[in-house]
Structure 1
Amino acid sequence: MKAQIDENLPPALARAIDAIARSYDHEVVHVREFVKPGTADLELFEAAIRRDIRVHVTQDHHQRKPAERDAIARLGLTVFVLAKGWITLSHYDRAARLLEWWPKMMQQAELVQPGAMFRVPHARASGARLAQIKTTR
């Protein structure tokens, strides 16, 4: 499964996750590999689908904007939104925590109907759960 890390997270994070995720037949890219910085999310989502990317990881809260919610559902992306607490973590801690969550995120992406969104708590993955974000208005 192909996933992308949004531009609000460092490109090095995508490279670090990709190095390990490839062992599990996952590919992780950073959005700056194929779109310019500041590209509108709707355009970014469409570019992802053209590249067969099905998972989007971000700190943006897309569930707040109806046009983005609709695009996520229409295009069939599965979105994982990092909860607000992630911003307080150092780059090392953020990378370690995301690696800890990655298997649960990919398992969820494979099980759920595309177009779903989940909030990823900043707590350790061993004692926490992904929370589905309601996409209905």
Structure 2
Amino acid sequence: MKKIFIGILLLGSLVAKAQNFGTLNEILNRLEEKKGINQNLENVDVNNKKFILIKDFDDHTERNFIIIKGKDVTYVEIFDDKQTNESTSNVFTGDIIRKKNIISLRADMLENKKVPLPVTKTLLLTKQKDILYLIDVNTKERWIDEESFNKK
């Protein structure tokens, strides 16, 4: 009799935990939808798009560009020194793979020379208030679409 009673208690606790998980899962899905993470942007065309990321530091400014043309990508880094007003740049080329809202970037050529360690980025395509973003899933940096950037 004890075994049956304990079995019923364990079964009841598992059902309660499954219901809690379902509720928590629904809450997380709603939060992700509000933040723009769970969007269906498969039909959004990123061909011929340019995305921009600007980082400002005390001694320099970094301007980064991702230019997508079909399955090819150009990744540009521009460093502006604030003291000398000189700019230096690196131009990488490579390819992308897109699966739903995820874009994987691999740039393995630096100014037409193969580099031993390519620049790789995994980006999440999101859209909020008609502004298209790429969010780097590792660093959480936001790359804004140039067309959206120029509107404001």
Answer with 1 or 2: which has the greater Rg: 2
TM normalised by structure 2 equals 0.27
Question: Larger helix proportion, structure 1 or 2?
Answer: 1
TM normalised by structure 1 equals 0.29
